[in-house]
Amino acid sequence: MNYQTVVGLEVHVELSTKSKIFCSCTTEFGGEPNTHVCPVCSGMPGVLPVLNKKVVDFAIRAGLATNCEITRYNKFDRKNYFYPDLPKAYQVSQLYLPICRNGKVEIEVEGKKKYIGIHEIHMEEDAGKLVHDPWDDCTLVDYNRCGVPLLEIVSEPDFRSADEVIAYLTKLRETMMYLGVSDCKMQEGSMRADVNISVMPVGSAKFGTRTEMKNMNSFKAIYRAINYEAKRQIEVLESGGRVVQETRRWDDNKDASFAMRSKENAQDYRYFPEPDLLPIEIGDDWIKDTKDNMPELPEAKRKRYMSEFGLSEYDASVITAERQVAYIFEDTAALCGKPKEAANYVMGELMRLMSETGTLAEELEIEPKKIADIIKFVSDGKINRSVAKEVFEAVFKKNVDPEKYIEENNLAMVDDSSLVEEVVAKVIADNPKSIEDLKAGKEKAKGFLVGQTMKALKGKANPQTVNKVLDEKLKEVLG
Q: CB under 6 A: which stretch of 6-14, 55-63, 284-292, 465-473 binds ligand ADP?
A: 6-14
Cα–Cα dist 75/294, whole Å: 24
Q: How many residues bind ligand ADP (CB under 6 A)?
A: 14
Among 3, 8, 124, 454, which residue sits at the site for ligand ADP (rule: CB under 6 A)?
8
Assess 462 for contact with ligand ADP (CB under 6 A): no
Q: CB under 6 A: which stretch of 8-16, 351-359, 414-422, 442-450 binds ligand ADP?
A: 8-16
Rounded to 5°, angle at Cα 261 from 256 and 267: 145
Smallest separation, CB 256 to ligand ADP (Å): 20
Picked from ligand ADP, Zn ion, none, the partner binding residue 10 (CB below 5 to 8 A depending on kind) is ligand ADP
- Bridge partners (DSSP) of residue 79 are 91
Smallest separation, CB 20 to Zn ion (Å): 5
| Amino acid making up residue 147 | G
Specify the residue, 85 or 163, whose C-beta has the smaller distance to Zn ion. Answer: 85
Among 155, 257, 290, 384, which residue sits at the site for ligand ADP (rule: CB under 6 A)?
155
Picked from ligand ADP, Zn ion, none, the partner binding residue 207 (CB below 5 to 8 A depending on kind) is ligand ADP
Q: CB under 6 A: which stretch of 148-156, 286-294, 363-371, 445-453 binds ligand ADP?
A: 148-156
Instruction: Please name the residues in contact with 36: beta carbons below 8 A apart, sequence gap of 6 or more.
Output: 25, 26, 27, 28, 143, 144
Smallest separation, CB 143 to Zn ion (Å): 9
Among 107, 154, 230, 319, which residue sits at the site for ligand ADP (rule: CB under 6 A)?
154
Smallest separation, CB 281 to Zn ion (Å): 26
Picked from ligand ADP, Zn ion, none, the partner binding residue 154 (CB below 5 to 8 A depending on kind) is ligand ADP
Per residue, the 3-state secondary structure of the chain, as one string, reads CCEEEEEEEEEEEECCCCECCCCCCECCCCCCCCCCCCCCCCCCCCCCCCCCHHHHHHHHHHHHHCCCEECCEECCEEEECCCCCCCCCEEEECCCCCCEEEEEEEEEECCEEEEEEEEEEEEEECCCEEEEECCCCEEEEECCCCCCEEEEEEECCCECCHHHHHHHHHHHHHHHHHHCCCCCCHHHCCEEEEEEEEEEECCCCCCCCCEEEEEECCHHHHHHHHHHHHHHHHHHHHCCCCCCCEEEEEECCCCEEEEEEEHHHCCCCCCEECCCCCCEECCHHHHHHHHHCCCCCHHHHHHHHHHHHCCCHHHHHHHHCCHHHHHHHHHHHHHHCCHHHHHHHHHHHHHHHHHHHCCCHHHCCCCHHHHHHHHHHHHCCCCCHHHHHHHHHHHHHHCCCHHHHHHHCCCCCECCHHHHHHHHHHHHHHCHHHHHHHHCCCCHHHHHHHHHHHHHCCCCECHHHHHHHHHHHHHHHHC
Taking CB under 6 A as the rule, which mask of x and - marks residues 202-221 in contact with ligand ADP? -----x--x-----------
Smallest separation, CB 8 to ligand ADP (Å): 2
Among 10, 85, 299, 403, which residue sits at the site for ligand ADP (rule: CB under 6 A)?
10
Assess 7 for contact with ligand ADP (CB under 6 A): yes
Specify the residue, 193 or 438, whose C-beta has the smaller distance to ligand ADP. Answer: 193
Smallest separation, CB 25 to Zn ion (Å): 3
Smallest separation, CB 24 to Zn ion (Å): 7
Please identify the residue of the shown chain whose CB is closest to the bound ligand ADP. Answer: 8
Smallest separation, CB 210 to ligand ADP (Å): 4
Distances (CA, A) of 25 to 42, 278, 408: 11, 21, 48
Q: CB under 5 A: which stretch of 19-27, 194-202, 292-300, 389-397 binds Zn ion?
A: 19-27
Picked from Zn ion, ligand ADP, none, the partner binding residue 184 (CB below 5 to 8 A depending on kind) is none
Specify the residue, 22 or 168, whose C-beta has the smaller distance to Zn ion. Answer: 22
Assess 38 for contact with Zn ion (CB under 5 A): yes
Smallest separation, CB 7 to ligand ADP (Å): 6
Among 6, 21, 25, 438, which residue sits at the site for Zn ion (rule: CB under 5 A)?
25
Picked from ligand ADP, Zn ion, none, the partner binding residue 41 (CB below 5 to 8 A depending on kind) is Zn ion
Cα–Cα dist 129/136, whole Å: 18
Among 7, 9, 15, 41, which residue sits at the site for Zn ion (rule: CB under 5 A)?
41
Cα–Cα dist 304/396, whole Å: 27
Binding site for Zn ion (CB under 5 A): 23, 25, 38, 40-41
Site residues (vs ligand ADP, CB under 6 A):
6-10, 154-157, 196-198, 207, 210
